[in-house]
Amino acid sequence: MTWRTQIGERTLQGAEATLIREALAMMVDMVEQEISDHDDLWEFGVPLFDRLPAPAKLALLAQVGWALLRATDACPPLTAINEATIGALFRHIEQSIHLELDDADDSDQRFSWRKDVLTVFEQIGETDDLPALECQDLSEWEILVQVLTDRILWDEDFNDAELYVDKSPEHASILKSMMTIDDEYFTAVPPDPRESDLPRVRAVIQQLLHE
């Protein structure tokens, strides 16, 4: 599917698609470990996504991954749960860069994630003031990842879910009206796949990862 972003309806291509595909692959491996261990082992930094059962996370990664990487006529709804999944993908990229910086030393520099991020900026023609590949300042890379996040997400209202859930319906409606948030944004129900559904979910993911 195509995703409705601030800069138009988009299907990710080239280096941008490669970056998301790599993040998707790693997150899928981590969620699969949660499924096999029957435990919540990982936090991706987006509470709305992190609190979900592992099978729901896997199904959302398949759905959102398909929406970002496949071109179709319809765009999926911009719900909190869908956007939280995209947010989790980008927070995972940040976490991976952090680990990359921690693992690097003078004799064994690893640039995989940093190189992929810089390649996206080169592809989109935004090359001014980019950090050097060897840059060890995590904040510099966090800024770049946020820029890439903003190319897809309109905002990060999904992180404010508790502000609305804890209010009375009348108060929540007023808040959502003030913030121009659709009534259905926080009420969309995440997928709840049965164990028998997971092979189909995994097949979709494999199609996305082997491009």
Q: What is the pLDDT of residues 180-209, one digit of tens each?
A: 456 678 888 899 999 999 999 999 999 999
State residue 178's pLDDT score: 42
Residues 6+ apart with CB under 8 A from 163: 175
Radius of gyration of the chain (CA): 18
Total domains in the chain come to 1
Q: What mean pLDDT value characterizes the chain?
A: 87
Give per-residue pLDDT as tens, 157-180. 888 766 555 544 554 454 444 444
User: Tell me, what's the pLDDT at 1?
Assistant: 55
User: Cα-flanking dihedrals φ and ψ of residue 7, to 5°?
Assistant: -110, 25
* 3-state DSSP assignment of residue 119: helix
Q: Which pLDDT score is estimated for 82?
A: 94
pLDDT at 17 over 90: yes
Residue 81 pLDDT exceeds 80: yes
Its domain, for residue 79, covers 3-209
108 or 2: which leads in pLDDT: 2
User: What is the C-alpha separation between 76 and 140, in angstroms, rounded?
Assistant: 32
